[in-house]
Copies of this chain bind each other. A is one copy, B any other.
């Protein structure tokens, strides 16, 4: 088994990565909790909830199963989970397990952060995408104005990652997850970038996937430890997300998978890096790889003005300027304040370019 560790400001927590670890879950729960609440979605429940319940040797285990999709990551569901947790009698000595992708992790984590002013929770990611969101303690729900606008930094007690659960993912989810891996590779590790570009999404070898995910987590862990509250280096992980988040909100959550939106955002950030920093980047190769792997890159016509307006609601806005993460080279990210009009112009050029290539 692989075990990594994160030094958060409040406590140190382990990340366990192992195929089949869901069958021996109780061995990895360090404390004696009075009750355990598993929060998951219908897709994951069908596949893995029975395994989880079997492996939790605990008298009082409760379950909340939500419909799949980003739309549950909102205020009313947040409140409804609190209500059920109160009905189940969860106390400050109880544990929440977030079993699922990023939506479940963010939502269940935010419930844990606020239930009776905060109780313990464990992240059990079941997607490739969630290798990223499950590490680092960012929890949130969406606001109608934008993603993750209501939330907290609240670290889990552990991340338990069963690589077997990745084998049942639909291709759209694999694509989505690989976009975040690409992001990590581009801001930190050329070798990982080259390795990812050498594979085909619909034909991944398990050992490769393991290696990519493990590397992705290590890059993330390193940045989170340096800057948990996202004052400096952690912002690099926002690479590709400035446009990515704006696209998701503008098109409606669920139209593009999160990673699909991020993939377009990454292309845009590379395009801007070339224009503004005269960086030499493999944007063309990257574009080809995305096309070859069926990423939806060609979008309907979108208003650059309204996309920039959406970007200005981003949490990284400073003194009324959108802050983008750009690349000087692969592995060399920088933060760049962007002028509104310039950003609009670049967006228009970008959309013209990718639609004409």
Contact = CB atoms under 8 A, between A and B. Distances in A.
A350 interface: no
Interface string A72-97: 00010001001100100101110000
A315 to B, nearest CB: 4
A307 interface: no
Contacts of A230: 117
A233 interface: no
Interface stretch (A108-116, A216-224, A260-268, A325-333): A108-116
A26 interface: no
A83 B143 contact: yes
A117 B143 contact: no
B318 A91 contact: yes
Contacts of A34: 319-320
Contact of A320 (B9, B89, B118, B148): B89
Nearest to A143: B82
Kindly state the interface size class of chain A when it binds its partner: 35 or more
Contacts of A89: 312, 320
A113 B152 contact: yes
| Copies of this chain per assembly | 2
Nearest to A141: B114
B149 A82 contact: yes
Contacts of A92: 315-318
Contact of A318 (B93, B138, B148): B93
Given A145-B83, A317-B91, A118 B75 contact: no
A116 B152 contact: no
A340 to B, nearest CB: 13
Interface string A224-241: 000001100000000000
A319 B90 CA distance: 10
Contacts of A82: 143, 149-150
A13 interface: no
A100 B34 CA distance: 38
Contact of A138 (B10, B117, B315, B320): B117
A300 to B, nearest CB: 26
Contacts of A83: 143-145
Contacts of A149: 82, 86, 115-116
Contact of A114 (B91, B150, B313): B150
A103 interface: no
Given A82-B143, A143-B83, A151 B117 contact: yes
Residue among A148, A149, A312, A313 having the largest count of chain B Cβ atoms under 10 Å: A149
A132 B153 CA distance: 26
A315 B151 contact: no
Contacts of A316: 92
Interface in A285-336: 312-313, 315-320
A86 to B, nearest CB: 5
28 contacts: A34-B320, A75-B75, A75-B79, A79-B143, A82-B143, A82-B150, A83-B144, A86-B143, A86-B146, A86-B313, A89-B320, A91-B317, A91-B318, A92-B316, A92-B318, A113-B152, A114-B114, A114-B150, A114-B151, A115-B149, A115-B150, A116-B315, A117-B138, A117-B148, A117-B151, A117-B152, A117-B230, A118-B153
